[in-house]
Amino acid sequence: QSGQSCISVQRVLIHEKIYEDLKKVLVGKVSKLKKGNPMNIDTFIGPMIAESEAKRCEEWVNEAVKMGGKVLCGGTREGVFYNATVVENVPKDAKLSKDEVFGPVICIESFKNYKKAIETVDDTVFGLQAGVFTNNINKIFYAYEELEVGGVVVNDVPSIRVDSQPYGGVRDSGL
């Protein structure tokens, strides 16, 4: 899908205690994702729906960098392909942070306070799904109660979906 899905992961908030280690692993894995023909079994990143969409991803990443974000891997376009990209510390008013990129790009940032991180997740006009990774049941319930999203997924990415489960969003992601 190359991120061209309404429930693809776009913003990743990581606790400061594990931020540097997870960032290193994440960048290492993302930079090895193979792009190419999606009919090939080892291809992970396929072409964008149109070259104009790949150019838009490139523009949004470039805007985020000009505003203070930092590309950790990727950030380049080759025709209709946009390389898998990790950008850190994207300002909240950058398109890459506030709009749906629909491309192979994730934004990462660290957090210290869980409640403030939940506020950051909710600081958007969208509200489709959110993923929360924790073994603390109180934090799970807090996310469930506080996040204004259609679904909170626990210990998995928000792009998981089972056709028999309820699915939908709120705010600009819903009706």
User: Where does the pLDDT of residue 70 fall: very low under 50, low under 70, confident under 90, or very high at 90 and above?
Assistant: very high
38-42, 89-93, 155-159: range with lowest mean pLDDT: 155-159
What predicted TM-score, i.e. pTM, was given to this entire model? 0.85
Q: Is the pLDDT of residue 17 over 90?
A: yes
CB 132 within 8 A of CB 153: yes
Q: Is the pLDDT of residue 128 over 80?
A: no
Q: Is the pLDDT of residue 124 over 70?
A: yes
Q: What is the pLDDT of residue 99?
A: 86
Average pLDDT along the chain: 86
CB 108 within 8 A of CB 23: yes
CB 129 within 8 A of CB 153: yes
In terms of pLDDT, which residue wins out, 81 or 99? 81
Q: Is the pLDDT of residue 171 over 80?
A: no
In terms of pLDDT, which residue wins out, 22 or 100? 22
Closest CA to 48 of 14, 3, 90: 3
Q: What is the pLDDT of residue 154?
A: 74
Region of 125 on the Ramachandran plot (φ > 0 left; ψ -120 to 50 alpha; else beta): alpha
Q: What average pLDDT score do residues 151-171 get? A: 66
DSSP string, 113-165: -HHHHHHHHHSSSEESEEEE--S-HHHHHHHHHH--SSEEEESS-TT---TTS
